[in-house]
Structure 1
Amino acid sequence: MVSTYPATIVPISYDQRYIDGTNIRSSDRQLDISSVGLAIKPTVGDQALTADGTAYHIIAGDPNNFYGAIDVVFIVQGRSIA
């Protein structure tokens, strides 16, 4: 079953020094996902996040929160779905 959730996503290109072609590819993007009003927690394996017209799936993630309790932003590595 596919579910759709509106979210504010900011795609950011990785700095060249982090791109190794395996763990981080040149087409990967850091996706900063705002937790404000978000009904779910983005997790590794989630698919079809759309930012700037490109669909991504999450291959790595790092929830940023205060004191381990309040999610502020989800920083994930997105790989385009080809």
Structure 2
Amino acid sequence: MTPQDGAKKYARFGSVRCRSNVLDGRLTREAADEWAVQQMHLTEDDTDESAARALALLAGIDLRHGPGAPYLHSDEQVSGRLDELRARRATS
């Protein structure tokens, strides 16, 4: 496995793990967004489409409709994306 392969796998796995931790209340949406954006910058040249999509879906998880408003992406939507990422990971 090359370092690039490791970075791709970490980005995909980390995205799933962050999303799961947000839903379980072990990680804030803000921390998950910060991690995803950081990973996007660190791996932008070496990330495959699947890993880039996983990070892009996680980035912005903390966005709201406005101050004090509900999150743009509900817990149900986050859960649906988590299921999608797990299904993709299982087939790759």
Q: Same fold (TM over 0.5)?
A: no
TM-score, structure 1 as length reference: 0.28
TM-score in terms of structure 2 length: 0.26
Choose between structure 1 and 2: higher strand proportion: 1
RCO higher in 1 or 2 (8 Å CA, sep ≥ 6)?
Answer: 2
